[in-house]
Structure 1
């Protein structure tokens, strides 16, 4: 699957081949835009059936901010994976979240919202990638952060 062959939208079946995350921690449902090595736009549909809503908070469900950050990091991972040469996509490299800077939360994310996540690659530094991330609901920014991810070492 080269960048030329990537057919948008990228669905969850393809995402499962690119990210190691599984239920209940896969937080990206679809990739709708991709500019390889530069930018990605992905969606997360927030439903009342999310397991974290049972305790966060009973009667007033709010998506935890750390999970919004994680969704942005997963979108960054997809940008990295989908930008690889065709024969390297999905080869099993793992990238880990190592730093979050300038995190801002502008409003709560609740059931029925659709997170529209945009991640821009600011720079690659050896085995690390620095991303500028934002999440919107109905066109309004609900969260933003700079996220640094690093490739894990093989053991």
Structure 2
């Protein structure tokens, strides 16, 4: 499906099983539990239910667990990859999407066990296999992190 034909095609939600069809990540590195409000070629929201059982909490930090900022950025990238797969259709599902750059990353407050993180990504632009997104992670409606990410979908 062409991007122009896909633009605006909306899906209310995809569960974790569908997310795993769309992107190649698996536990313990799958960092979104579902995606909602997918609008092809425009935006998506990834949802991460943050649990004390996450492997990274064993060492970051054991007495005061905090989700690592790099994993929040990775959750943005995974949400963006779901948006790319939704936009491009079945042919793009499961393909690798590689980071090219992360710009303007800001962390406003820690994400801790019990939080539900909503990762909002909006497509800025794309040229060929290179895509640029603006991302914001929110907990209880408050921005906890933001970044602009550029990634390339691998076509092999």
Fold match by TM threshold 0.5: yes
Query: What does residue 93 of structure 1 align with?
Result: 95
| In the alignment, structure 1 residue 8 sits paired with structure 2 residue 12 | yes
* 8 Å Cα contact 2:107/2:145 also seen in 1: yes
Residue 6 of structure 1 deviates from its aligned partner by 6.9
CA distance in 2, matches of 1:32, 1:93: 20
Query: What does residue 42 of structure 1 align with?
Result: 46
* 8 Å Cα contact 2:49/2:115 also seen in 1: yes
Residue 9 of structure 1 deviates from its aligned partner by 1.8
Structure 1: runs of 5+ lacking an equivalent: none
Change in CA separation of 1:72 and 1:63 when aligned onto 2, cut-off 3 Å: same
Residue 65 of structure 1 deviates from its aligned partner by 0.2
Residue 127 of structure 1 deviates from its aligned partner by 1.2
1:82 is aligned, of 83, 86, 95, to: 86
Map Cα deviations across residues 91-141 of structure 1 (whole Å, 9 max, x no partner). x32111111000000000000001111100000022100000000000000
Structure 1 consecutive aligned stretches of length 4 or more whose deviation exceeds 4 Å:
2-7
**Counterparts of 1:75-154 in structure 2 under 5 Å?**
75-85=79-89, 87-90=90-93, 92-152=94-154, 154=156
Please state whether the residue corresponding to 1:83 is helix, strand or coil: helix
Of the structure 1 ranges 103-112 and 6-15, higher mean CA displacement relative to structure 2 is found in 6-15
Residue 5 of structure 1 deviates from its aligned partner by 8.7
Residue 34 of structure 1 deviates from its aligned partner by 1.1
Q: How many residues align?
A: 151
Change in CA separation of 1:98 and 1:9 when aligned onto 2, cut-off 3 Å: same
Please state whether the residue corresponding to 1:8 is helix, strand or coil: strand
Cα RMSD between the aligned structures?
Answer: 1.9
Query: What does residue 35 of structure 2 align with?
Result: 31
CA distance in 1, matches of 2:17, 2:32: 11
Please state whether the residue corresponding to 2:102 is helix, strand or coil: strand
CA distance in 2, matches of 1:41, 1:144: 13
